[in-house]
Structure 1
Amino acid sequence: MTTYEFMRWLTFPLMTTHLVTVRNDIKRLIKSGVSSGKPFSILDVGGRKSPYTINLPAAVTLLDVPQEAGTKEALNLGFTDSILTTIQKKRSNITDVIIQDMTQSTIEEARFDAVVSIEVIEHVEADVLFVKHIAAVIKKGGWAYFTTPNGDYIKNEGPGKNPDHVRHYTRQGLHDLLSHYFDTVEVHYAVSTGRYRVWSLQSLKTINPVRFVQSLVGTVVNRFQSKGVETRAEHTAHLIAVAYK
């Protein structure tokens, strides 16, 4: 375990509801998987600086597109040489890095036990191809884990529109898309919205003591607010989908 990974492990309980939920879900899915005697293999799509697969008991391959000038650069999306160097120094469970667009994947079929794609699919124009290629690289009996904004409640329109989001999915829409390529699909809502969620998203690195305390309070309260919201479309921020092959 690197120093970076240790600090991430130590501060994990203080992280946002979304991050904690995703990591706990993925750990549970890994544990429930069938062991083949080899390290459990995960493809982390869009995983450049992803905190979601840090310290997981798995061999992780990161995949992302190269960073280009324009919106991707402004939003710090995609891989750069400096990001790759940083990742390789900080992470001990990274076994490979692939710089590629998943919609044009050349990865061999059935290479991975699972794929995770956290807050990525809303950025993808060719979402059908994206899902098709993800399904193809998963072994039979494996799974894919997706999160994306909840389009039943959060509309990507008007002056607050995110310029890099192509669409926001409804629960039914995401289920229908994934069902074309997976045998079983489960989609539910996650993370209560509101003031405390906004507070929790503030960086814990701030030197402002008021904002630091706000962030901690927001995290604790939002964690409790987000219990039992799986079927609540209103006032929830995310959709979480698990698709089984």
Structure 2
Amino acid sequence: MTSYEFMRWLSFPLMTTHLVTVRNDIKRLLSQSTPEKQARLSVLDVGGRKSPYTINLPASVTLLDVPQEAGVRADLHLGFTENILSTIQGKRSNISDLVIHDMTQPGLAAESYDAVVSIEVIEHVEADEAFVKHISEVIKPGGWAYLTTPNGDFIKNEGPDKNPDHVRHYTRQELHDLLAPYFKTVDVHYAVKTGKYRVWSLKSLKTLNPLSMLKTLVGTAVNRQQSKGLEQTAQQTAHLVAVGYK
């Protein structure tokens, strides 16, 4: 374990509901394999960049992202650059490879990974059907894909608050229908309560203001409790979580 991984491990209980939910879900999915097999599991983290979701997980992780280009991607720090690649390699001990590739295009070997995770990525993808198709193709039989994205049943990407880098926000049914042709079984559900406590929890803990830090911690704790049992609640939830089983 690197010092970076150790510090992230210590801080995970304080992280946002979404991050904790994703990590716990992925750990649960990985745990369905035997301990002996877990050590050999290969996971492709699409859009992995600086992804904290797969840190310290018992698997061999390949991070994949598109090259960073001028414009919105660079402004929002999206995509890989050579500097980001070298930085990640120095911080993460379970990274077996880093790949600069556009997942909407063919090029990766078929059935080469046990699982694929893609966190808050698909809303950025114009060719979403090609994206899902190529994800399914690289997963071995019996494997799975895990995706999250904003909840389009409640959060509309329009008006003055429109995110310029989001192509679309999916409804639950739309995301299910997109995945269903490529997976044997698909589960899509809601996650993370919206509201002021979620907003508080999203504030950085990197502050010298103790009151601001306390507000963030309170927001995180309350939002964690508020978010329990909302899998079927379309309104006032922030994310969709989808699992496709190959």
- Whether the TM-score (by the shorter chain) exceeds 0.5 is yes
Q: Which residue of 1 aligns with 2:61?
A: 60
Q: Superposed, which structure 2 residues align to 1:1-245 within 5 Å?
A: 1-33=1-33, 36=37, 39-245=40-246
The count of residues paired between Structure 1 and Structure 2 equals 245
Runs (4+) of structure 1 moved beyond 4 Å? 34-38
2:33 and 2:218 map into 1 onto residues whose CA distance is 35
1:185 Cα offset (Å): 0.2
Residue 241 of structure 1 aligns with an amino acid whose one-letter code is: A
Q: Deviations over 1:55-90 (max 9, x none)?
A: 000000000001001000000000012111110000
Aligned-pair identity in percent equals 72
Q: Is the 8 A contact 2:115 2:139 kept in 1?
A: yes
> Any idea what the Cα deviations from partners look like across 1:97-146, whole Å, max 9, x if unmatched?
10010001301100000000000000000000000000000000000000
Structure-2 change in CA distance of 1:173 and 1:207 (3 Å): same
Q: Distance in 2 between matches of 1:37 and 1:158?
A: 45
Q: Which amino acid is 1:26 matched to?
A: I
Distance 1:7 1:155 in 2: 36
Measure how far apart 1:17 and its partner are: 0.3
2: CA distance, partners of 1:67 / 1:103 = 16
Query: What is the CA deviation profile of residues 190-211 of structure 1, one whole-angstrom value per residue up to 9, with x for unaligned ones?
Result: 0000000000001111122221
Unaligned runs of 5+ in 2: none
Q: What secondary structure is seen at the aligned counterpart in 2 of 1:102?
A: coil
Q: Given the two structures, how large is their TM-score scaled by the length of structure 1?
A: 0.98
TM-score, normalised to structure 2, is 0.98
Question: What is the alpha-carbon distance in structure 2 between the residues aligned to residue 38 and residue 109 of structure 1?
Answer: 21
CA–CA distance in 1 between the matches of 2:179 and 2:82? Answer: 33
Distance in 2 (CA, whole Å) between partners of 1:105 and 1:204 is 40
- Alpha-carbon distance between aligned partners in 2 of 1:77 and 1:207, rounded to the nearest angstrom: 28
Report the 3-state secondary structure (helix = DSSP H, G, I; strand = E; otherwise coil) of the residue aligned with 1:104: coil
SS where residue 205 of structure 1 aligns? coil
SS at match of 2:176: helix
| 1:30-59 CA-partner distances (Å, limit 9, x unpaired) | 010366586110000000000000000000
In 2, Cα distance between equivalents of 1:21 and 1:105: 31
Any gaps of 5 or more consecutive residues in structure 1? none
Deviates most, 163-172 or 202-211: 202-211
* Secondary structure at the counterpart of residue 95 of structure 1: strand
Which segment is superposed worse, 25-34 or 105-114? Answer: 25-34
On the 8 A contact 2:49/2:80 being kept in 1, the answer is yes
